[in-house]
Structure 1
Amino acid sequence: MTLEPVWRTHYEDGVAEAVETVNHLLTQDLTETVSRHPGHTALHLVLKYLPLGLTLQSKITYRELDLASNRVAHALKSLGLQPGERVAIMLPNIPQHVISFYGILKAGLVVVNANPIYTAPELEHIFSDSNAKAVICMSGGLETVRSIQANTEIEHILITDINETLPAIPRKLSAKQLMALGHIAEVVYGGGVYNLHLLMSQQTARSMAPVGEPDSMAVLQYTGGTTGVPRAAVLTHRSLGTNTSQTRAWFAKARDGEEVMMGALPFFHIFGLAITVLLSVRIGARIVITPNPRDTEQNLRLVSKEGITVFPGVPALYNAAINHEKAGEYNLSSVEYCISGGAPLPMDVQETFNRMTGGNLVEGYGLTECSPVVAANPLKGEARDGKIGLPFPSTEIRIVNMEPDAEGNYVDAEPGAEGELCVRGPQLMKEYWQQPEATAETIDQDGWLHTGDIVTMDDDGYLAVVDRKKELILVGGFNVVPREVEEVLYAHPAILEAAVAGLPDEQSGERVKAWVVLHEGQQATEDEILDHCRKSLTGYKVPRAVEFKDELPKSLVGKILRRLLVEAETGQTAA
């Protein structure tokens, strides 16, 4: 049964209760923004701030983005690629990523997002599973692509590099430095290997007639693989476009053509694609691009010098910012909106970041299969600590018992009780690519997507994620929620980062273990940390052991990968 949308009464002023389902291609958003703001900067790449007030940078207007993506579309068509075929983008955050994205869609092709630092086996899985015919990558990735090409359907490799959009003189000067650092490699063109920019220069910049329908596949987005082999969610123009409308409705007070978006989230990740790219293009924002989001001081400089107003991120990004030794030297007061996703947001990180910026960092929730955003705290209204917020406009919610009844049906959980979150709405994926059984397991016959996340909902409609259904730790018949233990660990003054997972135990089935990273210059013993936990947790929830680490394994968007810690401990691949 669909829950009554009590949450709508807590939407901030100006947020619509519902949005219209999008009935156009994603490329139309770019077309419409070009008509409103042709000369406004769309893509602002900042590589380095130099002495004397100089900056190694490039700026591309919305009109230039439109024309460049037209050339990409014609270039891909000239290679014989047919509408519906897949083209992989294997690039970091550089302007060419966004240009290629819209060019692929304009040609009626499908984007396959690929992490550029994936290993050869990881890329081989994505390329072969998607049946990609072409890949756009940097010169440094060519060798890896070549090593697996024979096992895929890749016929065309288009090369671009980080400095290609710079003005002529800086481009030539930086090429030598980048090559010396190993960021650019020598390329022998021919045999299916092309220089993207040369190929573009040979094409017309005229618009191409729209190809495809709103329900056509736009993106094959591979899940992060945090629980196994990545599988691809089929995201359509309609699902991505409607989720952009939902997000735009949430950003009700965002000013068209005036916002400055932090481009630190990877564009190949669904969060970065949806918020940083698609929302920015919808509202005509300037995207300030940083290819290396792990350079925390550069992130602080960008906020201060470029006047960043919207800063989407993950907890690790904000945590690094507030703990940087020079954080107090930068003026971060331009920040107005921050939405955190990808992992639970520790409350102390949220509070400290808000104090530093004067902005409003709120937690949201989404998943690849939902294009991706499902819920968020109000950006200017009442954000509640420890909550992922209110369901988005036009989003239906169910909370069901974690196990089916005797007839195999999932029954609604009691009000306020923990249960699995189920979602229904126009932002849902169409299916898992070539995996009908997995699709049927995830989306039931009534159109409800079972997220695998355990949540509660309060009387006002605010949701809180308890944990992943698959990551619950079963200790002697009792459920232990990793996040609950992690929050206690984060409250210890010496702990910078923490992860908790279950390990096999002959007596209790599983035992709780914690891995922690300490703040620089801080000290703590295992006994001290365990004593701290005992003050807040019942006995079976207290970790049996604490291991100190220099760093915790993370995905590229900063999500701590508990499964890798378990695999390192047990020597077995986590399910």
Structure 2
Amino acid sequence: MKSDYPWFKSYPAGVPHEINPEQYSSLVDMLEESFRKFSDLPAYEFMGCVMSYREVEEKSKHFAAYLQSLGLKKGDKFGIQMPNVMQYPVALFGALRAGLTVVNVNPLYTEREMEHQYNDAEVKAVIILANFADKLAHILPKTQIKHVIVTEIGDMLGFKRFLVNFVVKYVKKMVPKYNIPGAVGFLDALSKGEKAQYVRPEINNQELAFLQYTGGTTGVSKGAMLTHRNMVANLLMIKAWMLGLEEGKEIAITPLPLYHVFALTVNCFLMFNVGAKNVLIANPRDIPGFIKELKKHKFTTMTGLNTLFNALLNHPEFKEVDFSRAKYVVAGGMATQRPVAERWKEVTGTTIAEGYGLSETSPVLSCNPLDGTARIGTIGLPMPSTEMKIVKEDGTEAVIDEPGEIWARGPQVMKGYWNRPDETAKVMTEDGWFKTGDIGAMDADGFFRIVDRKKDMILVSGFNVYPNEVEEVVAGHPKVLEVAAIGVPDPQSTERVKLFVVKKDPSLTEEELMAYCKENLAGYKLPKYIEFRDELPKSNVGKILRRKLKEEEMKKTEASA
């Protein structure tokens, strides 16, 4: 790796230029080290119940032994479909310790999406939360799944288990009826595993730890093949970046789901590696409940994304949360809007450090410095051992501040897409560069910024309009809560900008917002249409889905044609 990249001069003191991706032979090797070092410390807290590193070690070993007793072999695919409950890390670590490849499945997926992912990944066994088991029951005959383990929210909450499960099932009626012949309860699986023999498999770091499916925002969801080395490399990069992490002393708040690659690497693996206590939040959309949980902990680090930070800021009780021990607040998943970042700093005294990455890169490629030199509106500097460059349409490298596609290379970049050599060839070059599909630019100090996703770019009379820029301006209006911008067809100018806005203040009018846009945006970037909505479509991690809005617009156009 070259030593004269411009970003190195902007690195905080003490951050190394490179990490050693061979430090652990596998994620299992890393987990075993943490089991030994932190055995008596609290590892996870959920709904007031705490599980120590020793308990995670014992329970995940029993789960691994149970999976092996079913005849599952090293490399077999194992599906996990549940939110942030205490069973998640036990099942995840157990599957990895059994030598299986984990396939994270979004619990809010429809039957169609589940069927696609389970079949595409050739999943042989699955653990699922009972709340979603009815969907699995419908598609099971159309999959290769041979073994199903079902768990309920309260299964690992000790004496609270029966009460929680009763309330969820019979009071809140959150568990639809389902029938899965031969399904085994999670606690039964653990007790069977306790009696079975666990055989630690030999795992080399080039073997697959995860098939992590892309969000599908750009077409059919594909499985990114992430090796043990990819994951180890990325957690070590982030650890090197977060210089102030103290072993055994961190308390992490985890509102993003662990099945999402950002929380998986940062909250799940990195925090386990440093002996942190991880506070799991199963439903961060319940903002009053989330704030109540935040008030209970003297937390040191927290992850989230723009929509979540915005929702917290707009709740009156959020200002009562104690941020005095918070070292790091890290954002991922979508662009953090400047008005949100500035207000967050004002209210909490902490800076949101925005990072950038993709499922295909395990995920973090770049992050803002955490020493106070973060630049709002950028995605920061490339991680240690990571190269990034901006490539123009003609294949040449862009100059400083010139936009083009972001390419990246490093030990966290996937092997390729599962069973999709054609798709892999579109995004990977022979010398290891990964084409992200995002349009960005780099400044003279090595800070990168996202201009927009290639596919979301709006073409107005030959000019490129980037939705992120329009959205950031509109989000700065004091009466706007949330905004999304898309391009809609226009016979005169190819496309025009359409805004979808959720009001913070009901008095906001179209005229007022349009006048504000005229003050802040060039003529060709101005919205031609503004539509007010009660809410915007979001992914299960809270990312605003422009794609859904585009689909709705296309249907309207077709209907009127």
TM-score (norm: length of structure 2): 0.96
The corresponding residue for 1:54 is: none
Picking from 502, 512, 525, the partner of 1:528 is: 512
Alpha-carbon distance, 1:185 to partner = 5.6
CA contact (8 A) 2:208 2:226 kept: yes
The one-character-per-residue Cα deviations of 1:21-66 (angstroms, maximum 9, x if unpaired) are 13411012221112111011111102xxxxxxxxxx2211111101
Q: Which one-letter code corresponds to 2:114 in the other structure?
A: L
The corresponding residue for 1:502 is: 487
SS of the aligned residue for 1:204 comes to helix
Q: Is 1:193 matched up with 2:201?
A: no
SS of the aligned residue for 1:294 comes to coil
CA contact (8 A) 2:390 2:407 kept: yes
The one-character-per-residue Cα deviations of 1:172-212 (angstroms, maximum 9, x if unpaired) are 222221111123466767x4311121121122387632332
1:484–1:185 Cα change, 3 Å? closer
The corresponding residue for 2:30 is: 29
SS of the aligned residue for 2:80 comes to strand
The corresponding residue for 1:40 is: 41
CA contact (8 A) 2:465 2:525 kept: yes
Q: Is 1:396 matched up with 2:390?
A: no
Picking from 245, 251, 276, the partner of 2:236 is: 245
SS of the aligned residue for 2:49 comes to strand
Cα distance in structure 1, aligned partners of 2:543 and 2:352: 18
The corresponding residue for 2:501 is: 516
The corresponding residue for 1:285 is: 276
The corresponding residue for 2:420 is: 435
CA contact (8 A) 1:258 1:285 kept: yes
Picking from 423, 429, 439, the partner of 1:444 is: 429
Alpha-carbon distance, 1:414 to partner = 2.2
Identify unmatched segments of 5+ residues in structure 1. 47-56, 405-409
Alpha-carbon distance, 1:14 to partner = 2.1
Q: Which one-letter code corresponds to 2:533 in the other structure?
A: K
Picking from 412, 417, 420, the partner of 2:402 is: 417
Alpha-carbon distance, 1:3 to partner = 9.9
CA contact (8 A) 1:138 1:161 kept: yes
Picking from 447, 472, 491, the partner of 1:487 is: 472
The one-character-per-residue Cα deviations of 1:432-489 (angstroms, maximum 9, x if unpaired) are 0110011010001121100011111111101111101111111111111111111111
Alpha-carbon distance, 1:573 to partner = 12
1:497–1:224 Cα change, 3 Å? same
CA contact (8 A) 1:300 1:332 kept: no
CA contact (8 A) 2:134 2:178 kept: no
1:186–1:418 Cα change, 3 Å? closer
Q: Is 1:203 matched up with 2:197?
A: no
The corresponding residue for 1:224 is: 215
CA contact (8 A) 1:457 1:463 kept: yes
The corresponding residue for 1:302 is: 293
The corresponding residue for 1:154 is: 145
Cα distance in structure 1, aligned partners of 2:556 and 2:190: 47
CA contact (8 A) 1:502 1:512 kept: yes
CA contact (8 A) 1:3 1:397 kept: no
Q: Which moved more, 1:564-573 or 1:7-16?
A: 564-573
Q: Is 1:60 matched up with 2:45?
A: no
SS of the aligned residue for 1:571 comes to helix
Cα distance in structure 2, aligned partners of 1:298 and 1:13: 39
Q: Which one-letter code corresponds to 1:38 in the other structure?
A: S
1:3–1:29 Cα change, 3 Å? closer
The one-character-per-residue Cα deviations of 1:99-125 (angstroms, maximum 9, x if unpaired) are 111111111111000011111001000
Cα distance in structure 1, aligned partners of 2:300 and 2:556: 45
Cα distance in structure 2, aligned partners of 1:124 and 1:20: 38
The corresponding residue for 2:524 is: 540
Picking from 54, 57, 80, the partner of 1:89 is: 80
Alpha-carbon distance, 1:4 to partner = 4.3
Q: Which one-letter code corresponds to 1:497 in the other structure?
A: E
The corresponding residue for 2:134 is: 143
- Amino-acid identity (%): 40
Q: Which moved more, 1:558-567 or 1:176-185?
A: 176-185
The corresponding residue for 2:6 is: 6
Cα distance in structure 1, aligned partners of 2:2 and 2:117: 36
The corresponding residue for 1:368 is: 359
SS of the aligned residue for 1:455 comes to strand
Alpha-carbon distance, 1:140 to partner = 2.2
Picking from 520, 523, 546, the partner of 1:562 is: 546
Q: Is 1:129 matched up with 2:120?
A: yes
Aligned residues: 555
How much is the aligned-residue C-alpha RMSD, in angstroms?
Answer: 1.8
Alpha-carbon distance, 1:272 to partner = 1.2
Q: Which moved more, 1:22-31 or 1:486-495?
A: 22-31
The one-character-per-residue Cα deviations of 1:527-571 (angstroms, maximum 9, x if unpaired) are 221111111222111010100011111112221110101111111
SS of the aligned residue for 2:194 comes to coil
TM-score (norm: length of structure 1): 0.93
Cα distance in structure 2, aligned partners of 1:108 and 1:208: 10
CA contact (8 A) 1:65 1:99 kept: yes
CA contact (8 A) 2:439 2:452 kept: yes
